[in-house]
Each structure stands twice: as C-alpha cells, then as structure tokens.
Amino acid sequence: MSEQSVEFALGDDYPEYRREVAKVCADYPPSYWEYLENQPPSGSYPTKFVEALTKTGFLAALIPAQYGGLDLPVRGGAAILETIHAAGCTAGPCHAQMYTMGTILRHGSDEQKDKYLPKIAKGELRLQAFGVTEPTTGSDTTQLKTRADKVDGGYKINGQKVWISRAGHSDLMLLLARTTPADQVEKRAQGVSTFLVDMRLAKENGMVITPIDAMINHNTTEIFFDDVFIPEDSLVGQEGRGFRYILDGMNAERCLVSSETIGNGRYFLRESIKYANETKRFGRPMSASQSVQFSIAQAYAQLETADLMVRKTAAMFAAGMKCGAEANMSKILSGEASWACAQVALTIFGEAGMNKSSSIQRKWREARTARNSPISPNMVLNFVGQHVLGMPRSY
Amino acid sequence: MNEGTNPMSDDLLMMRIDDDDYHEFRDPLRALCDGFPGTYWRALEDKPADQRYPAEFVDALMGSGFLGALIPEEFDGAGLSLRIAAVILETIHSTSCNAGAAIGQMYLSDILVRHGTDKQKQTYLRAIAAGDVRFLASAISETETGDDLAQMATTAEKRGDVYVVNGAKQWANNALHSDLLLLLARTSPGTPDNPTAGLTAFLVDVNTAIKGGMSGQAIDSMNNDGASDLVFDGLELPDDAVIGEVGKGFDYYRELAQLECILYAACASGDSAFFSERAVNYAKERVVFGRPIAYNQGIQFPISKAYVEVQGAKLIGNKAAAVYDSGQQPGPLASMAKHMACEAAWQMADACFTTHGGFAFAREYDIERKWRDARVMQITPQGSATLLSDIAVNDLGMPGLS
C-alpha cells in the first residue's frame, strides 16, 4: 500500500444537516412506510417523502454550487443518508438522485451539465435510474448484451436491463450499453458507452418498464429496449469508455449506500436497547441477560468499525486518492454489521418485531438486501483477494 | 469544497490515518526482531515452564529504548503518542516475535506517572525509561475470583508503618522476571454502593519481596506467556509502596486497563499482519490439483474476509488511540478496540491455519505457535465477555452484573 494520510472527523459530523434531516423524517413514521408496502406489486413510491426531501435541497448535496447544489463532499451526503435511515425512513427511493449525477459532472459535456444539473439540483428532473445489470450477466458487467447501434442522428438501443430501481419514477436514466461488439475490442471493458437517456422520450420510442415484485419496496423494475432511438447528445463523454466512467462513480456510491446501511444499524440498535431495557422477562430487564446484551454489544462494535471504514473511504475519495479497496471494505463491513444488528433486533423483539406494523421486520429485510446489493459480497472478496492481497483472479 | 458552507463542527475530534507510516520505528524494530526468528521461540518452548522466558529478546528490546515510548520526556522517556506505542507493538507482532514478555514495561509505569508520589517518579521512571529497572508485571486476578475484582481475597493490612500482604495471585505474568510488580490488594472492605472501593495499588520491589514473604511459581501453559502464580505470606511493604490514595486502586487499574486494551489490540493487529502475509504467500506457492491453491475461492475468500475484518479492527484501535492521545479517556472504546482486534486476529489466524493444511501443525512453520497465541489473546488480559460487558454497560446503558 502506498504512503497516504487522511484526516476525518469522529462523532456526529455535519450536525446541522443531521438535525434538519431528522426533522423531515419525523413526519414519516413507520405507518407511512407500512402503508406504501401494502400497495401492489411490492410497494409504491414514497412520493411525499421524496418531495419533502427534495425541498430541503439535501438530495443536491453533492452538486456543485454553480449548478445550484450544496457542494458537500461525499461524507456530507453520507451523513444525510445515514440520518434518514437511522430515523427509520429509507433513502433507497431517492438516493441515486444524490450520486448518479456524478458521472455527468465528471465526464459530461458543458452543454449536458448546464442543461441537466441545475434542474437535477432543484429536483425538477429526477435522475434516479441507473441501467447497468442484465438478466444473463449479473456482476459480470463487461459481458452486457444491450447494444447501442449508431444510426442517423443518434443510437438505437436493443436489449434488456434488470434490477433497475426507481425507473418508473425517474425522468432520466444513466444507461450502459455496448457500442462496439466484444469481439472487436482488445479488452472486454472497452467498447461500452454511457448514455444519459431521457426516459420520457424513450418510453414513447418503445422502451417498456415492468415492475418486479420483490421482498423490499425499492420500486425495482425490468426494462426492455426494442429499437429505442436516443439522440446523439445522449452520449456521455467518449464512446467506448463508459465502463470506466461507471467505475469512477462506484466508490462514492459504495460510501453512500454503506452509510445508509450503517444508519439502519443505528436504528436497530437504538430500538433494541430501548426495548431490551424496558421489557421485563423472568423478573428483570431482558438486557440483563448476556445473550441479549453481548449480541447487542457485538453488533454495535461491528457497526462502529464499519462506520470508521466509511469515513476513511470518504476522506480518501475527497483527497483524490485511490479508494477502491476501502470502498469495497466499507460495503462488506457495513453490510455484515447492519445484518448483525438486524438479527439481534428481530430476536429481541420476537413476534413484536415480525408484525407487519413493526418497522423491525421491514428494516430487517432491507438489511439483508443491503448485503447483496449493489455489489455481491463475493465480488468484494474477489477484489480484496486479487487487488489488495495479490492473489490470483479466481473467477 | 466551499468553505463558506462547511457545517462541520469545530469541536469534533479529528482522526488521522496513515496506512504505511512511522518507518523510523518500524524498520529498526523489524531488524531487531529478525534476530529472533522462529527457531529461537521454538527452542524456548521446548524447555521446562520456568526456563522459557525470552531473556535475550527482552534484553534487546530494553536496550532499544522503544519500550520507554510512553514515559514523559521529563523523565527521559520518549514522550510519544499512544498511536506510536501501538505501532511499535504491532510491528513486533507482525514478525515471529511476541512482545508479551516485555509489554508491561511500556504501560505499567503510567500508574506512577498519573498517581505516583514525587519520590516514586524520581526513583523509578528514569530507570524504567532507560530499561535499567524492569516493570513488567501486575498481580491482579486470583484463582477463586477471576475478573470479579471486588471479591479478591488478598489483603494488605496496615500494621504500624508497614502493610502486611497475605493471599495468592494467579496469572501474574512475567512477575519472576521483573524488578517491580503492581499489586492490587484489599486494605478495607468495599461498601454496598461501591464494592471495589478499598482496593489499594502497591508497587512491590520483587527482588526484596522474593527474599521473604512472596514466592512464585511458573504455570505450565499452552503458550509461552510467562504465566506465574504468586503467594503472599506476610509480605511486608513499606508505607511508600502505596501508589496514589489508599483504597483507590481499582480506579487506577481501570485507567490502566484502557491503555492495556489499546496496546494488546495493536499486538493482535500485528499478529494479523503475520498471518495474512504467511497465508497469502503460502496460498500462492502451494500447488494442488495443478494450480496454486490461491485460485480456489475456498482458500482465498476466508483470507480476504479476515483481512477486511482486520482492517476494520485497526481503525477502531486507531480511533481509541486518537481519543487517548487527545487527552480523553477512551473508556469502552478501548474494550471495543481489543475485542475487535482479537476477534479479527483469530479469524485471520484460523484462515492461515486452514490454508496451510497439514503444515499448519508442523512446528517449523510457526503458524501453530502464533495461532495458539492469537487464541489466548481473546481471553487475556481482558476476555471477550469482560470487554462486551464493558461496552454494553458503560457505553450502551444496559444493566451490569448484580
């Protein structure tokens, strides 16, 4: 590892933002989320919550001031998302608004930035969909089969994407598609391009969005492209370099989603400790039993550990350092820690936690999902084994 | 970032991370440790329990000055941060060596710095910093009471101008190789509100005590940690052997235990570095079924997973040290640092053990020796249950054992 030094704050950083976010979240109690979950196919979009958050400007946390954003570093966004989840709400339906724009910011043309970023910052345009994964390729992203063929004035898209969350509630989508066939490039990562797709137009041109019924309310979808025309100016950056652009944004994304996961962990711990201290069993508080107490303390220690890795990653990202290892480690540590918190909570609450009116079971499902998504823990271990520890590529 | 909109509070503690730092400490220490390879440590383990002390290694460390890292400069110590002290121990443990025989020299004198009389400070701190006087041992736990210190049976009874000590201590590691010993004994009964009141800390001159009133015996244990029992049979200690106030010994011990936890966490992180290096190298070299076993995810993933846990645990250790170095008491954070570091080290030790297959048992690889050390470190000096309990009660507000 190369010589590197970063500094970051401990404790509740960005306290003013945390306070404001918590105020908004207080208006969206567990019953709000339960109601949404009961809407078919697997929940409906928390429109009011997202509108309230949008009004605060927090979703524009990472957008530079010149485009009307808050100009915060990644850590600022992380503190906001963590707070939302710690309050029992979920930022999943809108977190992509915070970071997907990073690809345009870093690689888009001036025209694209001027055209889209101010509206994204204001919330007038929703950029919440990120079209990467496909049914037949999963984590093997460079094998993606969706094609973008050059035609007069633009591209024709053919293919299929899956697990594209919020696509039904977004105006824009960042789409990854192959512009040069895989057998005509030196490396598989080449020949793939990134597009900023105006979904409103694309829907008129043959793009079909189908909701997926899932165990969590993430409004996730499948998207089918059948000769869907998109104009030339949809291309972000250079043709064929799209995979790189997506990777550039991954570390920030991992930092941010890890923070949500940590927020969930804080929610579980707070509720569990309160419940275990207040609930008497066998003549004493549940928390007097070491089986309860130690499992909470263990989960808490894991959560605090993961929290430091997230802070470190964000500090490295802000300093322009390579932080792929740390971002991946944040993801797996936060996922495991939050899951430990979730399991403890469900065990301690027992049936009270399984009731559909309880947020414990809802958050527990979220916590399990966070371990698989957006990156598989196996891919994290592959990354660490190969790129950090120098072992051979095993897949 | 726009400075004008920075809402960061000024009063938050900042933590600095260097991943590849302090070479001025690490390089000479590694060179020193290279002089004590696995053969040295294995030969010691072949000997009877009372002859296993790594005297040459401890001599070398004493002479190096590294163990005086935490002693303030006014007493000729290096006056370094706890972070650097941790780096020193981590580096030692990343080699074939184990700092257990000498680690006491690094932190036990903190009780003198904080609570000792001027005379105690003047008499001992410089000599400890120079390595001329060895302060390697503490006698706290007892056979019958373990971590329940309030129940300790060893007494120090005031008679005229001396204290007379009677009782027995267990796991007083390195006591028979030290000049000074920190002893915790009861001088008055505890109160219902505060059962640990009435315990007093004493500074025992081992060379004098062993001539009359104190005897010791090495414990034959599964790792070479200098374990010994001590028996006190009317040992007379002068008045000026008391450290700080009479009856406040438990509070002083609690302070010291935080330091101890952070330093042992660093040892565990060093062990983890040893295991991960050995595991990765072996996995890349060992060919089975026609290719290095590192290609097998069954081998690679446990190593990678443990490595991630180790990196996380190191951050908690760094955080605890940063809090300590800022002048605050880390409290349960120190417990968290040790717990997480030892858990991660055990995970890495076991991954390394599995990776080596049959060769893990072969003593010449040193894997089994360090693996035994890593397991023991989950239990001592503070065990996981004690540490989790500290976190649960003192950080999370759950009830203590009643």
Is residue B297 within 8 A of residue A376, CB to CB? The reply is no
Distance, CA of A185 to CA of A51 (rounded, Å): 44
CB-CB neighbors (< 8 A) of A378 in chain B: 297, 301
Give the pLDDT band (50/70/90) at residue B3. Answer: very low
Which one of B83, B115, B133 terminates a domain? B133
User: Residue A194, SS3?
Assistant: strand
Of residues B122, B83, B136, B114, the one with CA closest to residue B253: B114
Chain A window 26-45: which residues touch B at a Cβ cutoff of 8 Å? none
Residues B199 and B269 occupy one common structural domain: no
Strands B180-186 and B135-139, how do they pair? parallel
Query: What residues in B contact A311, CB-CB < 8 Å?
Result: 15
Determine contact, residues A218/A366, Cβ cutoff 8 Å.
no
In a domain, B13, yes or no: no
pLDDT the model gives residue B401: 76
If one counts the domains in chain B, the total is: 3
B280 contact residues in A (CB cutoff 8 A): 389-391
Judge if B114 and B209 occupy the same domain: no
Helices A359-372, A242-278: crossing angle, 10 deg rounding: 150
For residue B256, the model assigns a pLDDT of 97
| Residue whose structure tokens are 């257990």 | B100
To the question of domain A244-388 being in CATH 1.20.140.10, the answer is yes
For residue range B52-65, what is the model confidence (pLDDT) as tens digits? Answer: 999 999 999 999 99
CA distance B18 to chain A (A): 4
Of B12, B21, B296, the CB nearest to A13: B12
Measure CA A276 to chain center. 31
pLDDT of B4 above 60: no
Interface of B with A in 105-124 (CB under 8 A): none
- Confidence at residue A234, expressed as pLDDT on a 0 to 100 scale: 97
Do residues B72 and B30 both lie within one domain? Answer: yes
The predicted pLDDT at position B8 comes to 42
Dihedrals phi, psi of A309, to nearest 5 degrees = -65, -40
Query: What's the CA gap between A310 and A303, in Å, rounded?
Result: 11
Predicted pLDDT of residue B10:
53
Q: Which of B14, B295, B296 sits opposite A9 (nearest CB)?
A: B14
CATH of the domain at B38: 1.10.540.10
pLDDT at B155: 98
Any domain includes B192: yes
CATH of domain A15-126: 1.10.540.10
Position B14 in a domain: no
Q: Return the structure tokens found at A71.
A: 């100009």
CA atoms within 13 A on the CB side of B138: 23
Residues 350-389 of B with CB under 8 A from A: 385, 388-389
Alpha-carbon distance values, B49 to A210, B155, B217 (Å): 72, 28, 9
Domain assignment present for B15: no
Q: Are B29 and B108 found together in one domain?
A: yes
Residues B214 and B298 in one domain: no
Q: Is there a contact between A308 and B319 if contact means CB atoms under 8 Å apart? A: yes
| Whether B211 and B278 share a structural domain | no
Domain presence at residue B1: no
Is some CB atom of chain A closer than 8 A to the CB atom of B283? yes
Each residue's pLDDT tens digit, B164-177? 999 999 999 999 99
Is residue A64 a contact partner of residue A102, using CB atoms and an 8 Å limit? no
Q: Which of B247, B278, B301 is the last residue of a domain?
A: B247
What is the ipTM metric for this complex?
0.91
Is A284 in Cβ contact with B7 (below 8 Å)? no
The C-alpha atoms of residue A388 and residue B337 are separated, in whole angstroms, by 23
Task: Give B192's DSSP letter.
Answer: S
CA distance linking residue B16 with residue B326, whole number of Å: 12
Put residue B357 in one of left, alpha, beta given phi > 0 → left and psi -120 to 50 → alpha.
Answer: left
**Interface contact A3-B322, CB threshold 8 A:** no
**pTM exceeding the 0.80 threshold for the entire prediction:** yes
Residue at B362 is within a domain:
yes
Contacts of A296 in chain B (CB under 8 A): 392, 396, 398
Q: Does A281 touch chain B (CB under 8 A)?
A: no
CATH code: domain of residue B318: 1.20.140.10
Q: How far apart are CA A351 and CA A363, in angstroms?
A: 15
CATH topology of domain A128-240: Butyryl-CoA Dehydrogenase, subunit A; domain 2 (2.40.110)
| CB contact set of B37 (below 8 Å; sequence gap of 6+) | B96
DSSP conformation letters of B45-110: HTS-GGG---HHHHHHHHHHSGGGTTS-GGGTS----HHHHHHHHHHHHTTT--GGGTTHHHHTTH
**A316/chain B closest Cα distance in angstroms:** 10
Q: What is the CA radius of gyration of chain A?
A: 21
Tell me the C-alpha to C-alpha distance, in Å, between residue A386 and each of A148, A351, A382, B289, B301: 32, 43, 6, 20, 10
Which residues in chain A show pLDDT less than 70?
1-4
B1 pLDDT tier (thresholds 50, 70, 90): very low
A146 min Cα distance to partner chain B (Å): 30
- pLDDT at residue B312, rounded to an integer: 98
Would the pLDDT of B287 be above 80?
yes
B371 is a domain residue? yes
Segments of chain A assigned E as strands = 5-9, 127-131, 147-151, 154-165, 172-178, 192-198, 208-211, 220-231, 235-236, 280-281, 284-285
> Does the CB of B338 have a partner CB in chain A at under 8 Å?
no
Answer whether B21 sits within 8 Å of A296, measured CB to CB: no
Count the Cβ atoms, other than its own, within 10 Å of residue B234. Answer: 11
Domain that holds residue B205: 137-247
B12 vs A: CB within 8 A: yes
Helix (H), strand (E) at residue B15: strand B14-18
pLDDT tens-digit profile of B124-147?
Answer: 999 999 999 999 999 999 999 888
The ranges assigned to domains in chain A are 15-126, 128-240, 244-388
* Same domain as B282, residue B378: yes
* Sequence-separated (6 or more) residues with CB below 8 Å from residue B350: B302, B306, B371
Task: Return residues 61-100 of A near B (CB < 8 Å).
Answer: 65, 70-73, 76
Stronger pLDDT, B12 or B371, i.e. the higher one: B371
Q: pLDDT (tens digit, 9 = 90+) per residue, A338-358?
A: 999 999 999 999 999 999 889
Give the three-class secondary structure for A8.
Answer: strand
As a whole number, mean pLDDT of residues B42-50 equals 96
A residues 346-385 closer than 8 Å to B (CB): 378, 380-382, 384-385
Query: For position B60, what pLDDT does the model report?
Result: 98
Lowest-confidence region among A350-359, B18-27, B225-234, B302-311: B18-27
Residue B2 lies in a domain: no
Q: And the tokens for A242?
A: 């799209």
Which of B221, B247, B273 is the C-terminal boundary of a domain? B247
Residue A71: which of B5, B295, B388 has the nearest Cβ?
A: B5
